[in-house]
Amino acid sequence: MPRAKAVVLGVAILFASLLMMFCASCANAQIGERQMERRVTEIPVSELLSQPPAKLVDVHRQAAAYQLVSLTRPAWFAWIALQLFALFYLWASGTAARSRDTLKRSIRSPALVRFIFGAALAGIVQLVALPAQFFDYRVLRVMGLSTQSTAGWFGDVLITALLEMVVVGVLVVIVLWLVDRTHLWWVYVAALIFGLTFLLSYVFPIVIEPIFNRFTPLPPNRPLTARIETLARRAGEGQLPIYVSDLSRRTHAGNAYVVGIGPSRRIVIGDTLLDAATDNEILFIVAHELGHDVHGDTLRGSLFGAIIFVVAAALAVLIADRVGFRRDDDPLSRLTLVGALLGCVYLLFLPAINGYSRVIESSADAYALQLTHDRAGGTRAFVRFADEDLALICPSRFARLYWYTHPPLGTRIANLNGQRNPCP
């Protein structure tokens, strides 16, 4: 058996073994689902403002949160490893070059060849990661966090994969067209990504989100509606439409966000949050999201993302040049190698990306407190997130580096109440 095929088989056997072990552990995770949830709404305000975070959250839910992490983190590593290995294998085995040649013999249009190659590449990457994704879904289902049926989950995965295949296919056509014509292709690609971020921000709430969720206006006669409208005006955001999303079709987790730019801007509140949280909690969360809009975090995030891409892509190309070329290489088939290296470089940048995100999230928390003057509402919301979403209040430093785009809930609660940070 060729060496590459032996490696593929070995990885498959290893992953299957890990999956079996994790599934065995998953049966024990049902204990966490049966624990009685803390009635966060009934916690006295005096306790919310004086007790340390560890005293406010339910200890049984925190134990379940640790169990959740022990199950989902290995799946994340497998997810990434399978995708990177698949990309490298496609290049090293010559499969990418042979596939390119087959397409060129069948299709005359170079642009169409590149589109199909890029779309197929995106589809393969999604396919090889499917076992890890499915395992992650099953863990969330067993732990009581996901409400989605298996058929519904596969439907979402299929739609997402198709969208990604189209986007990647188009990007491959554009990027290689630029590579053929200028040595400054990376500058134009960075500008393209920056522009696409804004385009996506505009079309996301009116084109993409409705594919996955239903949205209905928050009833105008509800007292919460008037309070949110007043909050938005005080933030200088004007009259934003307020919608309710049917998140309960997929999850028990509560969420609210401000999405879109220009005419597509809107406030979205999950029905799970409306059903579980108090009005003051919802107002604090909405104020936090308005803070992102007021601070221009979409623009700053787009610039930061474009810079990260340019640096990561440049490093990936430089490393790929050091790896050497196969005799049947060309820019199209070599995309698989560059893609694998880009993924590796991105992992190196992930702590910086997450660190930047945590800074702007802390700033949005401070803005929400300034806008609402409601420490109790914010604290209650964060305690509810910890209990109902099985979120650790103080994850390890390593976990924060690689998985946390937000500060730990323990830190956020302590910051609101002027307490010592329990998660140094």
Q: 221 in a domain, yes or no?
A: no
- What mean pLDDT do residues 264-283 have? 95
Amino acid in position 55: K
Confidence check: pLDDT of 411 > 80: yes
Structural domain count, the chain: 1
pLDDT at 36: 37
Confidence check: pLDDT of 29 > 80: no
Biggest CA–CA distance in the chain, Å, is 74
329 — pLDDT class (breaks 50, 70, 90):
confident
Q: 206 in a domain, yes or no?
A: yes
Q: 279 in a domain, yes or no?
A: no
In whole angstroms, give the CA distance from residue 85 to residue 7. Answer: 10
Q: 301 in a domain, yes or no?
A: yes
Token pair in block for residue 305: 């993302």
pLDDT at 262: 87
Q: Tell how far CA 70 is from the center of its chain.
A: 19
Q: What is the pLDDT of residues 386-402, one digit of tens each?
A: 999 999 999 999 999 99
Do residues 289 and 257 lie in contact, with contact meaning Cβ atoms separated by under 8 Å? yes
The share of the chain scoring above pLDDT 70, in percent, equals 91
Do residues 293 and 238 lie in contact, with contact meaning Cβ atoms separated by under 8 Å? no
pLDDT at 373: 97
Q: What is the pLDDT of residues 171-185, one digit of tens each?
A: 999 999 998 999 888
How many other C-beta atoms lie within 10 A of the C-beta of residue 45?
A: 12
- What mean pLDDT do residues 298-312 have? 85
* Best CA proximity match to 87, nearest among 338, 345, 309: 338
Using CB atoms within 10 Å of the CB of residue 311, give its burial: 0 to 12 exposed, 13 to 18 middle, 19+ buried.
Answer: middle
Q: 253 in a domain, yes or no?
A: no
Q: What is the DSSP string of 206-248?
A: IIIHHHH--EEEPPTTSHHHHHHHHHHHHTT--S--EEEE-GG
Do residues 335 and 87 lie in contact, with contact meaning Cβ atoms separated by under 8 Å? no
Q: What angle do CA 360, 364, 366 make, to 5 degrees?
A: 115
Between the alpha carbon of residue 241 and those of residues 96, 201, 217, 219, the distances in Å are: 48, 16, 8, 11
Q: What is the pLDDT of residues 144-177, one digit of tens each?
A: 999 999 999 999 999 999 999 999 999 999 999 9
Strand order in the sheet with 242-245: 215-217, 242-245, 266-270, 256-259
Pairing of strands 266-270, 256-259: antiparallel
pLDDT at 28: 42
Q: 231 in a domain, yes or no?
A: no
| Structural domain containing residue 352 | 3-214+294-417
pLDDT at 205: 95
Confidence check: pLDDT of 226 > 70: yes
Q: What is the pLDDT of residues 82-116, one digit of tens each?
A: 999 999 999 999 999 999 999 999 999 999 999 99
Q: 274 in a domain, yes or no?
A: no
Token pair in block for residue 185: 């292709």
**Residues paired with 265 in a beta bridge:** none
Beta strands in 90-237 (DSSP E): 215-217
Confidence check: pLDDT of 331 > 50: yes
Judged by average pLDDT, the poorest of 32-36, 66-70, 128-132 is: 32-36
In whole angstroms, give the CA distance from residue 257 to residue 78. Answer: 30
33 — pLDDT class (breaks 50, 70, 90):
very low
pLDDT at 30: 41
Helix (H, G, I), strand (E, B) or coil at 243: strand
Between the alpha carbon of residue 384 and those of residues 62, 191, 225, 389, the distances in Å are: 12, 40, 22, 8
Q: 258 in a domain, yes or no?
A: no
